[in-house]
């Protein structure tokens, strides 16, 4: 089963990459400067888990995410089943 | 016939070369042979336009242990210490994808070094960018510097010196030349790329093979057209983490003597490494392509042969050592796979399972590669005028110094080098801030100095002068730190060699560099040629980059490159044979003019005298006068509040005028000495110079003072003005950098 | 005996090993797959330098390798553990130290010399009398971060080991090094092993190794 793990910096943590992307966007286009209200950069990890059962697969992916994929101090994660 | 033309074009083989292949084989090439000839007969692998001239490079010296033909040259420093070093270009890949191009350039040159058995301990890089306003230039500058840092920092080899140039001739073809140096401590073996021992195994080590860089070598041998997007898929991606593992594991198996010979899979990948190793050892190989570890199982044999996936090595191993070798690599989490064996030959035969794909004598591909004698004309001096006209071309004005210090051509480079780890390895004595990088050798405590050379504006003025200078100037820089040049490497970046103007500059370069090397007794031990640096018919400035390496007895009390103490005395040591209007003319967009010529023998004596003086007298600081002349060089030495004031009486007696602070003179060096040692300096100079060599002079210029910078005749400013101009941030100078 | 832990990709390992040796102590390699008894070592050092290529997050992969179980047990038993640069990142990831290290505010790697002020001196780490130090830094992710409500606690508990005189990376409260609550695990971003002699630009680094067994 394929499972995606989306990892994002916590809102309260300064996301220096997101800030840089936002600044670049706003500097380049007036419409972006007016309409862009925020930008944060995260990571996406694609896992292929050898589990047929959906809940077992989610449990396995959660275990993996908790083991190393995210840092609870600075990041949050979400899991989504892809196929 | 149309089919043949299309094939020749696709494989970048000329019709003359096709005829040669037919003669050598006694039949037309077939199947996979097309790809083999395409790769190994490319300019990049075969040096077909340069070979006849490269043999003229001065390379003779008893201290040379390995030279051209191996992955890198090796020079004996005495007292049990040896170093391997080399420089290589990664220009085209870096223009297409700056981060990966520059990063893999560093990775490739490091592999050339540890392939010899030497532990890499220093990196340096020579970069030429276009005008800051040229399209994509900010992102090229950013990407290249990040790429070099990203790779070098991670792999754990310090970058300790370098040079960065800007000129419009590089707008569409930047230069990224990477230099690496490795150390052999006493008793450590030097490895060769010569395959030996019938029955030995051919072992593949490192990353799995993917489709990266297929046809890269022939691409590097081709001029740019505007459609680079189509070539994008061939870019390789490097992994410095993997390289680090490869360095550690390869050095371990080499030192345990488990390896007979070794070669990096660089340009044209498995093809060049296997055929070149066999040709050098005059043996044959049976190679089983189906045993090559693959990242992408859909790859064809041709793609496997030509893949330029990074971080891969080919080892020749005795069968009895295979198990031990595999254990070492496994410890470093790497695979080692036997993919063939050494045969009596002479053919190398390639198999896919049981099917023979091709059976060829490697000499046909390697030794019989075409050699061209491209037309060129005999070099004549260029842009020479009367001495008084050189003076007239340069107007003394302190504001001009401040202006160029706030321009990319004269500005500080800390934006670049602060992104490089300059101290990993814990040997760094002088880092990128200095004009010369110096490491402390761990066993003898001696200093190992290195610096890069080539001033492109001198190449534009007169290529022969520029070529001599590419050795003469860095050799004097080393001498000014007390270091004796032991050997050199080069990386020759040129435009289209089929144009006689370019070929003439190339030939003049070889002559000029070689003459100065011979006079200094410093052999060129390795090198690289990069032709076809042209886009839409516009050639780059011919740029013969060099790397000079030398030693001194100790790293204690090395002179700095900036003022250290107030009230110290400032002297000018000179042996002036040429005067030029130099970079001032380029800034003013007027023609550069000069007077005189460099006498390589006289310069070699001057270098030796400088080195003796510096190593015998305790000097606080030294700096060789270079671009923008003496005034700019003195301004560069200001540090903190410390500035400089001329001694008007001394200048009057020596006849130095304000124009002498601006005209570029080849060659001069500034020596700063505490007044307690000044007398000793003058006395020792008189002994060494012995009166006989009239042009060699030592003159007092002035004193280190606080806050003020004064060259006399109303050429004054504040040290703070110099600092703020010199430290103008690159984000200001190069729009789009952040 | 001082254990020097090596992970795949660690690149300051030799320098630290040599520094320990230079101050007259005995270094011994500890491999990332090793397990050891806490009595085997008088102190442990986690050197700097791109373990696992800094992939995923700096120090994250190293922090999960087998040897860290032994390091953790030793730390809990009171064995002094010093982390340098990537070693700091690993100790944070292993939750032996509070906080995390994020990308520099410039988003660029930075090599420079810094002046450190020792906020809470420690006999084992630099010595009781150490007040300041001039050391090199070389990192891309050295911006110390801790949740706002815990920062005061960190200062109150005397867990802030040293701060930068001039902030090079956007680090919270200029923090350059921290200690655990028991003050036997400490780490800093600057590299003391690169300031062991005059030729390197200073000798302030020696104190950080000399003091390990006092």
Query: CA triplet C103, C109, C113: central angle to 5 degrees?
Result: 110
Closest CB from C57, C107, C170 relative to A71: C57
pLDDT number for residue C31 = 95
State both tokens at B663. 């005209």
| Segments forming the whole domain that contains residue C10 | 2-208
Mutate to test the interface with B, among C85, C87, C111 (most CBs of B within 10 A): C111
pLDDT number for residue B228 = 47
Span B671-692, average pLDDT: 91
Instruction: Convert B424-463 to b/e letters by CB count within 10 Å (16 or more is b).
Output: bbbbbbbbbbbbbbbbbbbebebbbbbbbbbbbbbbbbbb
Length of chain A equals 83
* Statement: residue B225 has pLDDT above 60: no
Q: Considering chain C, what is the average pLDDT of its residues? A: 96
What are the backbone dihedrals phi and psi of residue A33, each rounded to the nearest 5 degrees, phi first? -60, -35
A10-14, B362-366, B369-373, B614-618, range with greatest mean pLDDT: B614-618
What 3-state DSSP class applies to A29? coil
Compute the count of residue pairs across chains A and B with CB atoms less than 8 Å apart. 3
* Statement: residue B267 has pLDDT above 90: no
How does pLDDT run across B549-558, given as a tens digit for each residue?
999 999 999 9
How far apart are the C-alpha atoms of B623 and B645, rounded to whole Å?
17
Model confidence pTM above 0.90: yes
Give contacts of A67 with chain C, Cβ < 8 Å: 64
Q: Considering chain A, what is the average pLDDT of its residues? A: 89
> Residue C213 domain-assigned?
no
A41 touches chain C (CB under 8 A): no
Its ipTM equals: 0.97
How does pLDDT run across C80-131, given as a tens digit for each residue?
999 999 999 999 999 999 999 999 999 999 999 999 999 999 999 999 899 9
How does pLDDT run across B187-224, given as a tens digit for each residue?
999 999 999 999 999 999 998 888 877 665 555 555 55
Strands B543-552 and B484-493: antiparallel
Closest CB from C9, C11, C112 relative to B424: C11
Mutate to test the interface with B, among C66, C199, C204 (most CBs of B within 10 A): C199
pLDDT number for residue B692 = 56
CATH code, domain with A74: 3.30.1280.10
pLDDT number for residue B219 = 52
State both tokens at A60. 């396995």
- The owner of tokens 């061939």 is B234
The reply to whether residue C100 touches residue A17, judged by beta carbons under 8 angstroms, is no
pLDDT number for residue B214 = 67
- Quick one: what percent of chain B has pLDDT higher than 90? 82
Q: How many domains are there within chain C?
A: 1
Span B709-731, average pLDDT: 94
pLDDT number for residue B185 = 96
Q: How confident is the model at residue B467 (pLDDT cuts 50, 70, 90)?
A: very high
Distance from CA of B556 to the nearest CA of C (A): 6
| Segments forming the whole domain that contains residue A74 | 2-81
Give contacts of C135 with chain B, Cβ < 8 Å: none
Q: How confident is the model at residue B269 (pLDDT cuts 50, 70, 90)?
A: confident
pLDDT number for residue B222 = 55
pLDDT number for residue B220 = 52
Q: How confident is the model at residue B295 (pLDDT cuts 50, 70, 90)?
A: confident
User: pLDDT higher for B228 or B236?
Assistant: B236
Q: How confident is the model at residue B735 (pLDDT cuts 50, 70, 90)?
A: confident
A interface with B, Cβ–Cβ < 8 A, is 20, 23-24
Q: Considering chain B, what is the average pLDDT of its residues? A: 93
The reply to whether residue A16 touches residue C145, judged by beta carbons under 8 angstroms, is no
The reply to whether residue A71 touches residue C107, judged by beta carbons under 8 angstroms, is no
pLDDT number for residue C47 = 98
Question: In this predicted structure, which of A15-29, A61-75, B185-199, B385-399 has the lowest mean pLDDT?
Answer: A15-29
> Residue C214 domain-assigned?
no
Report in angstroms the alpha-carbon separations of B316 from B200, B283, B308, B356: 6, 12, 20, 22
Q: How confident is the model at residue B572 (pLDDT cuts 50, 70, 90)?
A: very high
Closest CB from B420, B422, B426 relative to C15: B426
pLDDT number for residue B233 = 47
Mutate to test the interface with B, among C4, C10, C11, C14 (most CBs of B within 10 A): C11
pLDDT number for residue B6 = 86
Q: Residue B605 belongs to what H/E stretch? A: helix B600-616
pLDDT number for residue B232 = 42
Q: How many domains are there within chain A?
A: 1
What 3-state DSSP class applies to B617? coil
Q: How confident is the model at residue B598 (pLDDT cuts 50, 70, 90)?
A: very high
Q: How confident is the model at residue B738 (pLDDT cuts 50, 70, 90)?
A: confident
pLDDT number for residue B570 = 98
What's the sign of the alpha-carbon dihedral C129, C130, C132, C133?
A: positive
Q: Are B105 and B528 in contact (CB under 8 A)?
A: no
* Statement: residue B705 has pLDDT above 90: yes
CATH code, domain with C141: 3.40.50.880
């Amino acid at each position: 089963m394929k499972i995606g793990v989306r990892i994002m910096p916590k809102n309260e943590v300064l996301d220096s990459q997101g800030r840089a992307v936002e600044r670049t966007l706003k500097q380049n286009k007036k419409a972006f400067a007016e309409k862009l209200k925020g930008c944060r950069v995260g990571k996406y990890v694609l896992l292929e888990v050898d589990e047929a059962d959906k809940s077992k697969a989610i449990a396995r992916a959660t275990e993996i995410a908790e083991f190393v994929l995210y840092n609870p101090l600075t990041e949050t994660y979400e899991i989504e089943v892809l196929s | 016939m149309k089919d043949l033309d299309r094939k020749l074009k696709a494989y970048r083989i000329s019709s003359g070369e096709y005829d040669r292949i037919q003669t050598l084989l006694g039949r037309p090439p077939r199947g996979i042979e097309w790809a083999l000839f395409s790769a190994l007969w490319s300019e990049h692998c075969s040096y077909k336009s340069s070979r006849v001239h490269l043999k003229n490079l001065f390379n003779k010296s008893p201290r040379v242990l390995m030279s051209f033909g191996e992955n890198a040259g090796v020079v004996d420093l005495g007292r049990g210490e040896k170093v391997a070093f080399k420089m290589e270009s990664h220009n085209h890949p870096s223009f297409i994808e700056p981060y990966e191009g520059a990063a893999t350039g560093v990775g490739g040159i490091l592999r050339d070094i540890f392939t010899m058995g030497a532990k890499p301990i220093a990196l340096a890089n020579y970069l030429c960018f276009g005008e800051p306003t040229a399209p994509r230039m900010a992102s090229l500058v950013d990407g290249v510097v990040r790429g070099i840092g990203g790779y070098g920092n991670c792999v754990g080899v310090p970058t300790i010196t370098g040079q960065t140039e800007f000129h419009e001739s590089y707008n569409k073809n930047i230069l990224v030349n990477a230099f690496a140096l490795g150390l052999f401590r006493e008793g450590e073996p030097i490895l060769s790329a010569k395959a030996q021992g019938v029955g030995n195994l051919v072992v593949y080590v490192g990353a799995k093979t993917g489709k990266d860089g297929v046809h890269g070598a022939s691409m590097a041998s081709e001029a740019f057209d505007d459609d680079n997007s189509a070539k994008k898929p061939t870019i390789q991606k490097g992994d410095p983490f993997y390289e680090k593992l490869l360095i550690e594991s390869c050095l371990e198996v080499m030192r345990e003597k488990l390896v007979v010979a070794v070669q990096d899979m660089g340009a044209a990948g498995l093809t060049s490494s296997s055929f070149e190793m066999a040709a050098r050892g005059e043996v044959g190989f049976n190679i089983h392509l189906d045993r090559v570890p693959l990242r992408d199982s859909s790859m064809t044999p041709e793609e496997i042969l030509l893949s330029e996936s990074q971080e891969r090595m080919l080892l020749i191993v005795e069968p009895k050592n295979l198990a031990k070798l595999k254990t070492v690599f496994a410890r470093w989490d790497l695979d080692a796979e036997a993919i063939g064996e050494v045969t009596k030959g002479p053919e190398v035969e390639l198999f896919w399972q049981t099917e023979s794909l091709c059976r060829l004598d490697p000499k046909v591909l390697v030794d019989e590669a075409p050699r061209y004698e491209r037309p060129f004309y005999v070099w004549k001096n260029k842009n020479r005028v009367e001495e008084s006209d050189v003076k007239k071309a340069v107007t003394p004005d302190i504001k001009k110094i401040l202006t160029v210090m706030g321009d990319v051509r004269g500005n500080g480079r800390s934006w670049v080098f602060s992104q490089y780890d300059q101290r990993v390895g814990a040997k760094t004595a002088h880092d990128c801030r200095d004009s010369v990088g110096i490491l402390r050798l761990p066993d003898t405590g001696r200093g190992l100095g290195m610096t890069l050379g080539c001033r492109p504006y001198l190449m534009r003025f007169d290529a022969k002068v520029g070529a001599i200078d590419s050795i003469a100037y860095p050799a004097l820089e080393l001498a000014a730190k007390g270091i004796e040049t032991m050997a050199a490497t080069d990386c020759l970046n040129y435009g289209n060699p089929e144009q006689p103007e370019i070929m003439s500059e190339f030939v003049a370069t070889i002559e000029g560099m070689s003459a100065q090397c011979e006079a200094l007794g410093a052999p060129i031990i390795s090198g690289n040629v990069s032709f076809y640096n042209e886009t839409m018919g516009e050639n780059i400035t011919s740029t013969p980059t060099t790397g000079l390496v030398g030693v001194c007895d100790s790293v204690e009390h090395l002179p700095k490159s900036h003022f250290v103490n107030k009230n110290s005395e400032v002297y000018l040591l000179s042996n002036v044979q040429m005067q030029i209007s130099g970079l001032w003319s380029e800034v003013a967009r007027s023609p550069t003019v000069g007077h005189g010529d460099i006498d390589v023998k006289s310069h070699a004596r001057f270098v030796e005298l400088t080195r003796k003086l510096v190593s015998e007298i305790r000097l606080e600081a030294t700096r060789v006068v270079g671009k923008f002349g003496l005034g700019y060089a003195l301004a560069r030495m200001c540090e903190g509040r410390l500035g400089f004031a001329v001694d008007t009486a001394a200048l009057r007696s020596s006849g130095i005028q304000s124009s002498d602070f601006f005209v570029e003179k080849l060659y001069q060096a500034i020596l700063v000495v505490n007044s307690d040692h000044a007398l000793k300096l003058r006395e020792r100079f008189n002994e060494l110079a012995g009166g006989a060599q009239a042009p060699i002079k030592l003159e007092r210029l002035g004193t280190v003072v606080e806050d003020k910078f004064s060259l006399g005749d109303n050429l004054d400013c504040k040290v703070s003005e110099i600092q703020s101009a010199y430290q103008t941030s690159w984000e200001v100078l190069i729009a789009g950098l952040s | 005996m001082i254990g020097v832990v090596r992970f795949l990709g660690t690149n300051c390992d030799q320098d630290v090993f040599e520094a320990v040796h230079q101050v007259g102590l005995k270094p011994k390699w500890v491999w990332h797959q090793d397990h050891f008894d806490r009595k085997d070592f008088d102190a442990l050092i986690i050197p700097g330098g791109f373990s696992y290529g800094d992939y995923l997050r700096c120090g994250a992969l190293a922090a999960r390798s087998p040897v860290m179980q032994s390091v953790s047990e030793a730390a809990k038993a009171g064995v002094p553990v010093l982390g340098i640069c990537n070693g700091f990142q690993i100790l944070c990831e292993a939750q032996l130290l509070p906080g995390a290290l994020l990308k520099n505010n410039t988003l660029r790697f930075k090599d420079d010399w810094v002046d450190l002020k020792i906020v809470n001196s420690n006999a084992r780490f630099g010595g009781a009398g150490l007040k300041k130090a001039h050391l090199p830094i070389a990192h891309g992710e050295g911006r110390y971060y801790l949740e706002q409500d815990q920062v005061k606690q960190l200062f109150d508990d005397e867990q802030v080991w040293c701060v930068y005189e001039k902030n090079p990376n956007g680090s919270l409260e200029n923090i350059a090094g921290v200690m655990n609550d028991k003050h036997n695990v400490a780490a800093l971003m600057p590299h003391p092993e690169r300031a062991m002699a005059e030729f390197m630009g200073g000798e302030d680094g020696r104190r950080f190794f000399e003091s390990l067994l006092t």
